[in-house]
Structure 1
Amino acid sequence: MNTVNRDTVIVKKKEFIPALGYSCLTDWYDLAIKLTMPEKKFRGKLIDELNPGDGETILEFGFGTGQNIILAHQRNNKAALTGIDIDPKVKAIAAHKLNKLGYNIALCLYDGTRFPYANNTFDKVFSSLVFHQLDRATKLACIKEIFRVLKPGGQVVIGDWGKAKNKTTRFSFYLVQMLDGFKTTNDNVNGLLPVFIEQSGFQKVTETGFINTKIGTYSYYKAIK
């Protein structure tokens, strides 16, 4: 049974880039995704890759406005889901959605450094559209934290912007870079995220697929601890 307190808050947070790059735009995040990406397709494939099983303990790193963790729960409500994020504004949005649906899923805020979980806690960790908002050092630190909290044999599933598959998606991705910053997004578009995953100790690192969207190439990565 999931025992994480959904109201756990660590108040001294590391600086972070909000959804859409600016806190004032966070309320428009869900609409922006609907307008610029094939939402049903890319989220559905993310949950397909996650494949939540009965009784599995699953953490979403960067739950955002809650769309993915809701879909994971709807796919299998016998999985024990937990979400972690740094942004209190998105937590309020996600919590409102969960309360409206009557879903009891733990949502935790953390300080942007060490995850508040013991070693070898989760069967799976998944994440979507988070790593392109992190600088290289933070990317590596967060992947190492994911490795730490996964059980041996556990699986990580990451969906995020990857290396553009054609000139059109590379050009359109400049919009994302202007909002979220070139410093944090360059590693993604240069195809380095799977390299960082492997450097953090994971095995069988694989890009399992991608979707070309109006604003870039969204890629799926899986690996095993």
Structure 2
Amino acid sequence: MAETSSQERDYLPGMGKHYLLPFYDVLHRVSGLHAIHQEMVEVARLSAGQRVLDVGCGTGNLLRSTGKRHRDVELVGVDPDLKMLARSERKLRRAGLKAKLDRGFAQELAFPDASFDVVFSSLMLHHLDGPSKGEMLAEVRRVLRPGGLLVLADIAHHGHAAKGIGEAGFTTEPTRTRKLRMFGEIGIEVARVH
């Protein structure tokens, strides 16, 4: 299931500490993040046969939401945390969904150029430092096909994510801002590669 990245990197686990992993899905339910994921899937306007990558897939909640709504797309998830990937695999299997799950880092995506139609990322960007954010966005742009779409949700910081996405060579739509219990304002960024 999980593969090792060619380069080991430090990473901040979901919720900040490995021992908090059992509470990750509880937080997902009580925070209202499911509604954000539903909106992300909706704005992606997926169609049959498309390849979808979730960068920082965690325990697979966004992959599961995508697969339940679009059973005819190919799902791929990448995360540096093997424990998160193991949970994701179990949850997707219980939901009757298939996905390729790889251990890896957002700044070093082990996929060929132009190999995905849509890339999702949910509440992961704020875990990266400034240079790593730029590396991640460059990698996402590289693995997206021409016309491909990035749909990214993260804690809203007055347009910082949108600015970085634009600087990475994407054409961005206006930020969709939503309130989320426990996280405050979340920005949903939709950006296209040309």
C-alpha distance in structure 2 between counterparts of 1:115 and 1:154, whole Å: 16
Partner of 1:198: 166
Cα distance in 1 for residues equivalent to 2:180 and 2:59: 20
SS of residue matched to 1:49: helix
Alignment of 1:213 with 2:176, yes or no, is no
What secondary structure, in the 3-state scheme, does the structure 2 residue paired with 1:84 have?
strand
The answer on whether the counterparts of 1:98 and 1:105 sit within 8 Å (CA) in structure 2 is: yes
Q: Report the equivalent of 1:16.
A: 11
Q: Is 1:68 aligned with 2:62?
A: yes
Q: Map 1:60-139; keep pairs closer than 5 Å.
A: 60-111=54-105, 113-139=107-133
Residue by residue over 1:6-47, the C-alpha shift from the partner in whole angstroms, topping out at 9 and shown as x without a partner, is 433337521011111111111211112222x22332221111
- Count of residue pairs brought into register by the alignment: 192
Which residue of structure 1 aligns with residue 39 of structure 2? 45
| Structure 2, unpaired ranges of 5+ | none
Aligned counterparts of 2:52 and 2:125: Cα–Cα separation in 1: 18
1:20 aligns to what SS in structure 2? coil
Once residues 105 and 188 of structure 2 are traced to their aligned partners in structure 1, the CA distance between those partners, rounded to angstroms, is 26
TM-score, scaled relative to structure 1: 0.80
Moved over 6 A (4+): none
> For residues 111 and 219 of structure 1, what CA distance do their matches in structure 2 show?
22
Once the two structures are aligned, what percentage of the paired residues are identical? 26
Pairwise CA distance, 1:113: 3.7
Q: Is the 8 A contact 1:13 1:112 kept in 2?
A: no
Greater C-alpha radius of gyration: 1
1:7 partnered with 2:25:
no
Q: Which has more helix, going by share of residues? A: 1
Match of 1:56 in 2: 50
Deviation sequence 1:178-217 (CA, Å, 0-9, x none): xxxxxxxxxxx243111110111112x1234221123310
Q: Tell me the equivalent position of 1:146.
A: 140
Give the match's secondary structure for 1:207.
coil
